[in-house]
A and B are shown apart, each in its own frame.
Chain A
């Protein structure tokens, strides 16, 4: 397909701008002006509409294809949530920051406050900040809160390390590094989670925090989680909960009850907001009481009369992690999702997410190696090691699935599983959809034995075949020349 710039014709316009009703201002000095106008596309509205409509048709998406991408919780995104978010489009965030401005923003501030309360209950935390803009941003905020906690106790110099399991998301160590910590990685044991003995050996008073995903990236709930948390606390290390996998446990277990001190929640995973082709997400952070003094500013608080105010002068705060109040539009969708599903609905979400993952696990385990064969939570992780004997890799199976109309599961993550295939169906998929997917996965396993070349050649039905990634990295052509 042509690039939009390749369709550009000088003088063509895509939208009519308002005609000026004021006199033209005197020209700015030439030294401040650009020599040439920015070479943006010049296309008609119809050209533009066709271009982006046709581009969109080159995507798989939840609305068009089953998308069992493990760790990403690609559930159906209810349409009413989109409508709800647009209700807030006209509200300027600066209004709330003007003197007395909160009076004019009680609806939006109230919704953020209520969302915080709901998330606090779901996660077992005492207060939630809605400022972080994505999961990794929440992680960074959370680890900074932990750093502030240790600093307030005079232990900043002593606390040097953050402990993570080797199955963790890459964002965990990357976020801890921004907060100035060194990383200790603990290997996974045969029972599919951080090795308890190695963990004990790694724990010293120099550890600031332990970052866990629970259920972890293998989709397994760690039975030792309470013990881990007790050990961490005995060293005055705080427990960080990566909420990426919260979809499995709503109403079943609260991270706060298990001993976690800080949690981020990915609203774009568990709470039904769309992923947008990579974002926007939203990563509210929940904390226990001891960490409230360090929360980002402005902090939304409620006075005795139920009026929402902004706290902006707290001396202990880590500061600001984003310009305003977070990705409000995303939070409006998540809030609508929570109030619509309600208590029983959320419990049902987790139950059926877990049911669906176990169903796929059981039906595929005769065909694919299942390195940790036990009851899983919301996702299951296979290995293509059997297929590798025929020279077929996880990526080949992924590409075969594309030809059959399925977005592939996550492959090669977690890194601790060789040739990993991580499947997360989510609760919104029907049995019929999963059965059809399972049949195709079985077909892939059979084809790996009978005709591995067919898998190496896939995909054949897409607008393009497999791409030369080495060429892309070598040439670094990231912008169309002008």
Chain B
């Protein structure tokens, strides 16, 4: 009987192999496992055909609400994905390969990752990038740990305007280390610079900010970078790669380590993953970078080629003294990011960024016409903005969900006193018609 047709042996072949090995049965090969330790139960349901499996998966996907119009972000964004991304990353030579430990037969993956690192450096205006991390949240944590190593200090200051999820991930990562995490509560949706100045001293390893922040606000952190550097600390900036089509780059701002989530670069929403985290830094920090890094070199004939480099930083060499425990990264998602960026290109990314802002500004103007709705005006915004409503945002959002509109992310559960506020996201995918309908439905919800 062949329950897994992915196991190709015929009974005759199995017999031949057993006699080569010199045992009578496959069961004999499990003799090293003491009998008293053997599994007494194994309650996995019986298998099914490929067709039935796919049908079951369709049924599961069908249990989610379909066709939701997304005005939500919070770290994951509903952006276009050019067709080439699926087709090229779907080349099995890419997706069924492993980490490129053997460079001669992995130049495809290695060169692609070198090109990816280049794209991230050019986007962030920084010198070095690794070959990807898990996601935006863990990238914040890895950057903080990098800063702790570089400075030998033990305090991380975090702007409360950074995504609450990333802040939680950071705190989880640092909890067992001898590190103090100081959070600065937001002031009107912006970094409270006075409070920051009060805690910034020469025991601080790094300050973590986000741009645009969780409220959608764009801040100029150029002066902050000088202030942070003045105390010998590093500035870590979590950035939104689509916004970097037009916004001042981390390099121009003076950020030492830029991180972010690469989902918006050609990776589907897919209920939260897989995406990838990116990390880029100034050249002097390269030996403290976590994860794989691809470097250019030459072969025995002087021909250009690519290898994993500076591996002495990594866990498979350094074990507990490694710069990170990361082994598997999100290589295929990073490849998708590279294909996305190479498809939209230099002019296209700027155009895409402007398109996002145009749509968001249109929506912002429309929503503020609704009686009682005001927009947080403390800063300019990119494709997300915070509105205040005359009703509790939770109820409003739930009501609109039932009409197929994911209207925004209510802030009440993340920021005390913000119960009537929500963050609205408008990407290039949202049409004027969808925005108009959203405004109409929101008005109905608020005025009824």
Stretch of A197-205, A326-334, A443-451 that contacts chain B: A326-334
Nearest A residue to B53, CB-CB: A340
Q: Is B255 an interface residue (CB 8 A)?
A: no
Q: Is B171 an interface residue (CB 8 A)?
A: yes
* A contact residues around B68 at 8 Å (CB): 90, 92, 95, 104
Given the interface pairs A32-B218, A35-B252, the reply to whether A277 lies near B42 with Cβ below 8 Å is no
Listed by A's residue number, 19 A-B pairs whose Cβ atoms lie within 8 Å are A1-B111, A12-B345, A34-B244, A60-B102, A82-B90, A140-B325, A170-B318, A220-B32, A221-B32, A251-B44, A278-B113, A319-B168, A328-B272, A339-B53, A349-B4, A375-B31, A468-B300, A472-B307, A472-B309
Please, how many angstroms separate the alpha-carbon atoms of A471 and B303 in the complex?
Answer: 13
Contact, CB under 8 Å: B169 / A465? no
Please, how many angstroms separate the alpha-carbon atoms of A335 and B53 in the complex?
Answer: 10
Please, how many angstroms separate the alpha-carbon atoms of A52 and B115 in the complex?
Answer: 11
Considering only residues 318-375 of chain B, those with a C-beta below 8 Å from chain A are 318-322, 324-333, 335, 338-339, 341-352, 354-355, 357-362
Contact, CB under 8 Å: B48 / A94? no
Considering only residues 104-131 of chain B, those with a C-beta below 8 Å from chain A are 104-109, 111-115, 117-119, 121-123, 125, 127-129, 131
* A contact residues around B398 at 8 Å (CB): 98-101
Given the interface pairs A257-B39, A274-B95, the reply to whether A279 lies near B132 with Cβ below 8 Å is yes
Please, how many angstroms separate the alpha-carbon atoms of A374 and B28 in the complex?
Answer: 12
Contact, CB under 8 Å: A92 / B118? no
Given the interface pairs A84-B53, A84-B54, the reply to whether A34 lies near B97 with Cβ below 8 Å is no
Contact, CB under 8 Å: A328 / B47? no
CB-based A-B contact count at 8 angstroms = 720
Please, how many angstroms separate the alpha-carbon atoms of A240 and B233 in the complex?
Answer: 37
Please, how many angstroms separate the alpha-carbon atoms of A296 and B165 in the complex?
Answer: 12
* A contact residues around B317 at 8 Å (CB): 170
Given the interface pairs A38-B122, A55-B111, A58-B107, the reply to whether A467 lies near B307 with Cβ below 8 Å is yes
Of B33, B87, B298, which one neighbours A252 at CB under 8 angstroms? B33
* A contact residues around B50 at 8 Å (CB): 78, 80, 340
Contact, CB under 8 Å: B128 / A479? yes
Chain B nearest CB: distance from A459 CB in Å? 5
Known: A278-B131, A280-B330, A469-B309. 13 other contacts (CB 8 A): A21-B432, A42-B345, A42-B347, A59-B97, A137-B326, A177-B322, A251-B42, A258-B37, A330-B274, A344-B3, A347-B3, A356-B17, A462-B104
* B contact residues around A165 at 8 Å (CB): none
Considering only residues 233-258 of chain B, those with a C-beta below 8 Å from chain A are 244-249, 252
Please, how many angstroms separate the alpha-carbon atoms of A32 and B243 in the complex?
Answer: 11
Considering only residues 61-77 of chain A, those with a C-beta below 8 Å from chain B are 61-65, 67, 69, 72, 74-77
Contact, CB under 8 Å: B105 / A59? yes
Please, how many angstroms separate the alpha-carbon atoms of A342 and B40 in the complex?
Answer: 17
* A contact residues around B135 at 8 Å (CB): 133, 322-324
Closest 4 CB pairs of A and B: A342-B47, A324-B272, A107-B63, A276-B332
Please, how many angstroms separate the alpha-carbon atoms of A15 and B352 in the complex?
Answer: 11
Chain A CB count within 10 A is highest, among B175, B220, B276, B306, for B175
Q: Is A321 an interface residue (CB 8 A)?
A: yes
Contact, CB under 8 Å: A40 / B342? yes
Chain B nearest CB: distance from A283 CB in Å? 8
Chain A nearest CB: distance from B43 CB in Å? 5
Given the interface pairs A33-B247, A278-B109, A323-B165, the reply to whether A342 lies near B176 with Cβ below 8 Å is no
Contact, CB under 8 Å: B96 / A61? yes
Contact, CB under 8 Å: B316 / A48? no
Contact, CB under 8 Å: B54 / A80? yes
